[in-house]
Structure 1
């Protein structure tokens, strides 16, 4: 019998509230967590807004030594891991640790700490050669993204396969897809997987300012992120982490675990086209969607909801709309589609897993979260984007997609393990 992978635990740390419950409350109520940047002085930048998480690491169980050792992105991941494991009810101490693996996605790794330490070592840029005498002993950990996977493995007692997947803004989907493959090929029985990114820092803002990818709408921060709206003019940077306990289906059933969804299909493609540009027809994303649905053995007409990448840039939203039409055919017009980036911003590599968590929770509650701030749809974005208000809607099969710089396009299909396709 083919091995199947299911989600049995979810942990989320995102803007607007810490924990899965606070995250879902924000989404289902259609509230936004975007605001003026408080983590540093944003006045020199074109974009002055972001979706920040109000996170106190000590309040959420990290020791002073862990706080010193871990970058903010790693702290997010570890706190989310602890929630996910508790949510799953899994007794990790009773498992063979060599059968428990880790797969974590991140686009930028420890950017927050690297920038902070460079400022110290260079005396705020006044020294041409940084003075290594001021370096923390953990500086190498910040430089090496694999540290995130190591910390997650230690937190979960996992001694199986461990890796960081860094494919830009699709990393949160690709890491989970990699974890599913390990379970299917019998390399692990349990995977602790997801993604984390905390990119709200001066160097990241400067980079996106330079290519005008982020919105300059700083006079109305709560309504700055406007996916699919005719007035959209760039995305709002965010931060966040989502981690899942993913188990082999039969093992989860034997222990009576609550199952959120089966990870039924995954595919990823690269456009090999442009570092930041997208083909208007969305053919690579459409191909990823089609192959993910084929792997899940779910026809396009059975998709009940699409959790969109929906970054809020002119080209992404049109590209994604075209891809969904190509992959789902006429059913695309009947399928609710929404972007939660309108509420929690774009956490880069973390976004795929944060959105996968939203998709699993939508299935649990049979509620589709809205696209906030969508008042005047772009005529070229003519699908049902669930504007402003959440919608009750039966969801047995959900598609979530991601699109990243470099041309990466990924898709995951969630389904109920006992689904009957209508």
Structure 2
């Protein structure tokens, strides 16, 4: 299975090139929240997308109909299809599938409409006549997959994966399964989330998961740093075009990367807590290596989940050591969440796009803001500056609330 097209809307300027330039420069897109008045909140920083839906080609009707997450997804799907050079008129529509991930669905649209319907939360019984016609679509997360399917002229299998913060990885993994089993010839796959809203911020404030470093937003996301104090909420989307390698070669498509293996595990332990030994993530990594018939020494770079919480970074470090042995100390590891924050379900697909681009360009993105490494996180976390590297195989991992642990291996196009 290969990636032949990539579309990204990430914090900062939209577009795949702008995203790649940002994460290889070591600059950060984290800033004070502007999407709503965050003054009452504990954490008032986020990584926002500088996104103008009209400038990105959406019609007034599409803008009114779609939640911000839907807008991200459709724009990325159109970018990915254009980038792939795929003629959708040649592929029968019933052979085109869609796999979209999202953790929180149409959160912004739902919250905005509830505020109106309930008169700012004062009324328990609401008058439905004040609702917008598209409110039902906001309540059904599969709306996001439907919008991407319409934009992609896809009439094959269409589904939404909602496994929290691993949804983006899991959606791409499911897309590979559709290709492998023969249910589709092309899959438009990825994830989208736009969670920067009062309700989401309040939820993470309550469990103190997000960084309260409001005085220095640009340095608030500090994965693997001894002074890290939580993650920074983000938003965005990445959608990719996946095909079988032979079909892509026959049509002369540019191949960014091959997907070599995917696995997922659950810790069945705690909704938000992680076991310190990292066993479940380690098992997912081992299974993925087995599928690809590779060994730890074959891995040239690890894209870490690297959220910047105390427990996640230690858990993940332990998982790498448990699954890779001594190779864990030799392979470069980095977290792009240090620059673009944590966009919940979307981040997994954004990180798959980053891995594909890393293989394509031969560059390892850095971990920004890593000035004072945590002694318990004692691997090579590529602090501050990107590195040029010969990359054949990269590993991307994700960890989500509910105990989800996922791993994916990607290979350089044309590797032996």
> Normalization by structure 1: what TM-score?
0.98
Q: Does 1:263 align with 2:259?
A: yes
Q: Does 1:79 align with 2:68?
A: no
Residue by residue over 1:30-50, the C-alpha shift from the partner in whole angstroms, topping out at 9 and shown as x without a partner, is 110000000111111000000
Q: 1:352 Cα deviation (Å)?
A: 0.2
Q: Does 1:169 align with 2:165?
A: yes
The CA distance in 2 between the partners of 1:232 and 1:413, in whole Å, is: 28
Q: Does 1:23 align with 2:37?
A: no
The CA distance in 1 between the partners of 2:347 and 2:227, in whole Å, is: 23
Q: Does 1:272 align with 2:268?
A: yes
Any idea what SS the aligned residue of 1:17 has?
coil
1:99 aligned partner? 95
Any idea what SS the aligned residue of 2:89 has?
helix
Contact 1:93/1:157 (8 A) holds in 2: no
Q: Does 1:181 align with 2:174?
A: no
Q: Does 1:113 align with 2:115?
A: no
The CA distance in 1 between the partners of 2:21 and 2:153, in whole Å, is: 31
Q: 1:395 Cα deviation (Å)?
A: 0.9
Cα RMSD of the aligned pairs, angstroms, is 0.6
Contact 1:366/1:394 (8 A) holds in 2: yes
Contact 2:256/2:413 (8 A) holds in 1: no
2:283 aligned partner? 287
2:189 aligned partner? 193
Any idea what SS the aligned residue of 2:159 has?
strand
Q: Does 1:88 align with 2:84?
A: yes
1:380-399 → structure 2 map (5 Å cutoff): 380-399=376-395
Contact 2:208/2:230 (8 A) holds in 1: yes
* Equivalent of residue 32 in structure 2, options 30, 36, 42: 36
Moved over 3 A (4+): none
2:361 aligned partner? 365
Q: Does 1:203 align with 2:237?
A: no
Q: 1:336 Cα deviation (Å)?
A: 0.4
Structure 2 portions without partners, runs of 5+: none
The CA distance in 2 between the partners of 1:131 and 1:207, in whole Å, is: 27
* Equivalent of residue 344 in structure 2, options 323, 331, 348: 348
The CA distance in 1 between the partners of 2:226 and 2:294, in whole Å, is: 33
1:411 aligned partner? 407
2:298 aligned partner? 302
The CA distance in 1 between the partners of 2:324 and 2:126, in whole Å, is: 54
Any idea what SS the aligned residue of 1:90 has?
coil
The CA distance in 2 between the partners of 1:77 and 1:11, in whole Å, is: 9
1:339 aligned partner? 335
2:319 aligned partner? 323
Q: 1:418 Cα deviation (Å)?
A: 3.2
Structure 1 portions without partners, runs of 5+: none
Q: 1:419 Cα deviation (Å)?
A: 2.1
1:102-251 → structure 2 map (5 Å cutoff): 102-251=98-247
The CA distance in 2 between the partners of 1:8 and 1:362, in whole Å, is: 14
Q: How many residues align?
A: 416
Any idea what SS the aligned residue of 1:153 has?
helix
Residue by residue over 1:42-94, the C-alpha shift from the partner in whole angstroms, topping out at 9 and shown as x without a partner, is 11100000000011101100000000110100000000001100100000111
Any idea what SS the aligned residue of 1:401 has?
strand
Residue by residue over 1:222-257, the C-alpha shift from the partner in whole angstroms, topping out at 9 and shown as x without a partner, is 000000000000000000100000001111010011
1:55 aligned partner? 51
Residue by residue over 1:200-222, the C-alpha shift from the partner in whole angstroms, topping out at 9 and shown as x without a partner, is 00000000000000011100000
